Structure 1
Amino acid sequence: MQVKLSEQISSSDAETILRHLPDWIQDALIARATEIDYPVEAIIEMAIASFLDTEALSFADCKPRRGQ
């Protein structure tokens, strides 16, 4: 199997990841994506990044449309 590396996960990869998570985690990720109007792929990436690096972009940094 050959792995294709990219800077972002695709929407189909996000769907696959979500399917393998417990329902309550799926619901929380989708709810957060909806709340801040971000794609669920970005929310999954942020969750993984914040787990791996405490200084990575986090959910607290995502405040769309603030200051407008």
Structure 2
Amino acid sequence: MQSQTLEELTPTAAQAILENLPERIRVAFINRSKEIDFPVEAVIEMALAGYLDSEAIGFVDCKPNRGRK
């Protein structure tokens, strides 16, 4: 059987990560996801990607309300 590589963090995996973080960091991830109206798993991915690759999309690039009326 061939294993499938996940390209996105699942909500279940994000929850497991959040449960193991210090409270202030967990709250910061949750609050940021609400501020930009993105799923918390996407916020965690952006934080990790920004740490690993300075050219990766990050929070500065997120403008979810741009273009909405």
Q: Same fold (TM over 0.5)?
A: yes
Structure 2 residue aligned with 1:25:
25
TM-score (structure 1 length as normaliser) = 0.90
| RMSD, matched Cα | 1.3
- The sequence identity of aligned pairs, in percent, is 50
Q: Which runs of 5+ in 2 are unaligned?
A: none
Q: Aligned partner of 1:36: which letter?
A: I
Shift of 1:66: 1.2
Shift of 1:4: 5.2
Shift of 1:65: 1.6
Find the structure with the greater CA-based Rg. 2
Q: Which runs of 5+ in 1 are unaligned?
A: none
TM-score (structure 2 length as normaliser) = 0.89
Structure 2 residue aligned with 1:48:
48
Moved over 3 A (4+): none
Paired residues in the alignment total 66
Please state whether the residue corresponding to 1:64 is helix, strand or coil.
coil
